[in-house]
Amino acid sequence: MKFEPLNIRLKNGKTVQIRQGIESDAGELIHRMKEIFGETEYLLVDEDEFNMTLEQETAWLKAFDDVPTSLYLAAVYNDKIIGTCGIVGNVMKKMKHTASIGISLLKEWQNQGLGKKLMEESIGWAKKNTDLEIIWLDVFSTNTHAVSLYKKLGFVEEGRQKNFVRLKSGYCDKITMSLDIRQ
């Protein structure tokens, strides 16, 4: 099931295209993700740990096309990827009705409505996918903006692992949240 590209206007007045990620994005995504990992402590991977080769990143993007319950969206401004949202469908029989979702944005594009729109479009796509029933995610307890957004989108806290993540600023909990999309 494909995703039709769309243009959205953000709070800053700029128009951004949201489209499906494609294999030819691999080189730019490697660069962009290193940049994003370097800007935030709210992702599990640090900038120096991200060492995907062009071939690995291309194969990773292709895998989204190979799994019908997976989708990778790219937010693009002036031909530059500024954010992404991915739904990774489970391939194991007992969990095929579930998918994890994750989002990342360049810092300068946060708090402009882009993250919310990427999530809404991904959730909308998932609701049309008859094989999916539950979307879930993990979020750091200290990432209060993200937790608030996910709650507004209908995600509920399912579990919490205390002091699971060690940041430079100290320990934080890892929260697992889910959204039942059958409703």
* pLDDT tens per residue, range 61-83: 999 988 999 999 999 999 999 99
For residue 137, tell me if it sits in a domain. Answer: no
For residue 162, tell me if it sits in a domain. Answer: no
For residue 180, tell me if it sits in a domain. Answer: no
Q: What is the CATH number of the domain that holds 24?
A: 3.40.630.30
Q: Evaluate if pTM is beyond 0.85.
A: yes
Q: What token pair was written down for 44?
A: 């599990």
Its domain, for residue 113, covers 6-132
For residue 168, tell me if it sits in a domain. Answer: no
Domain count, the chain: 1
Q: pLDDT tens across 100-133, in order? A: 999 999 999 999 999 999 999 999 999 999 999 9
- Which residues lie below 8 Å from residue 98, measured CB to CB, with a gap of 6+? 89, 90, 132, 133, 134, 135, 136
For residue 1, tell me if it sits in a domain. Answer: no
